[in-house]
Amino acid sequence: MDPTRGSARPLREQIADKLRQLITNGELQPGDRLSPEEVLAEQYKVSRQTIRAALQDLTAEGLLMASRGRGRIVRAYKPLTWHISRYESRHHHEEAGDPGEDQWSTDVRAQGREPRQDVKVEIVEPPAHVADLLGVGPDELVVVRRRIRYVDEVPYQLADSYFRETLVQGTPLMQPRDVYAPGGVLASLGHIQTRYVEDLVVRMPTKGEKTQLGLPAGTPVAELTRTGYDTDGKPLRVMVTIAPGDRHRFRWELDPT
């Protein structure tokens, strides 16, 4: 088990490699607590400083997380499959029947998980890229529905949907709660989204996102921006979803024809 001291690779990297292998081959399971630093130092015949540096590297990679009073533990990883290509598909929702909730919640339940959403509605000046996609002026206010989406009481997504105020004022979309209509609330109001354009960016989270989602160090997020257009090509809604990389498996189903 001893690291190779004659190697050109630093001892901390060699220790990290050995612990990483224990995690990837399943000898260390999600939720398992690693031995204390002094025990690992004795086991690998290195200093506690070297062990601490190796553990910091694995924490930054997202394989470990620090737990107050428990040292370092292997991160639990129970990803949700997010079927992005059929998300908000009217055809798919019609085939599934009318479950009385939105498609995200329906998909979560279909995977044997429990969904919940906290919703807040605000009138704001949108971020510049959202204003550009929505086609509003720099000083124009818009309505945003901010949602924290939970799976099994763990925050899994932040989802902000932006609308022109004139489009949704006086509609259920102004209510700070879950709202649902077969085929979508916008469609029930006569505003049918016939085309989506999506942009996907993978990045490190902001401080606010890290706090809201309870992200351990080293966890990247996917930022998915979906713009919905009507038959005339007019943007109806911009939805920005922040999804932690350790909690999702993203799936697209594409028809090559």
Whether 1 is covered by a domain: the verdict is no
Q: Kindly state whether residues 90 and 140 are assigned to the same domain.
A: yes
In this prediction, residue 82 has a pLDDT band, given cuts at 50, 70 and 90, of very high
Same domain? 158 vs 231: yes
Based on the domain organization, do 36 and 86 belong to the same domain? no
Domain identity same for 107 and 191: yes
Domain count, the chain: 2
pLDDT at 99: 61
Q: Are residues 44 and 116 in the same domain?
A: no
Q: Are residues 41 and 133 in the same domain?
A: no
What is the per-residue pLDDT for 5?
Answer: 65
pLDDT digits (tens, 9 = 90+) for 228-248: 999 999 999 999 999 999 899
> CATH no. for residue 67?
1.10.10.10
The predicted structure's pLDDT at residue 130: 97
Residue positions counted in the chain: 257
Q: Is the residue at 148 inside a domain?
A: yes
**In this structure, are 30 and 114 located in the same domain?**
no
In the predicted model, what is the mean pLDDT of the chain? 90
At which of 74, 95, 112 does a domain end?
74
Q: Are 35 and 140 in the same domain? A: no
- Average pLDDT value for residue range 59-72: 79
Chosen domain end from 42, 74, 106: 74
Q: Using an 8 Å Cβ cutoff, are 221 and 201 in contact?
A: no
Q: Is residue 92 part of a domain?
A: yes
Check whether 35 has a pLDDT greater than 90. Answer: yes
Q: At what angle do helices 11-24 and 37-44 cross, to 10 degrees?
A: 110
What is the enclosing helix (H) or strand (E) of 106? helix 103-110
Residue type, 179: V
One-letter amino acid for residue 11 of the chain: L
Q: Are residues 141 and 247 in the same domain?
A: yes
Integer-rounded Cα radius of gyration of the chain: 23
Say yes or no: 86 and 59 in one domain: no
Here the CATH number for the domain that contains residue 165 is 3.40.1410.10
Residues 121 and 232 both lie in one domain: yes
Q: Are residues 160 and 144 part of one domain?
A: yes
Q: Which of 28, 45, 74 is the endpoint of a domain?
A: 74
**Domain of 26, in residue numbers:** 11-74
pLDDT of 104 over the 70 cut: yes
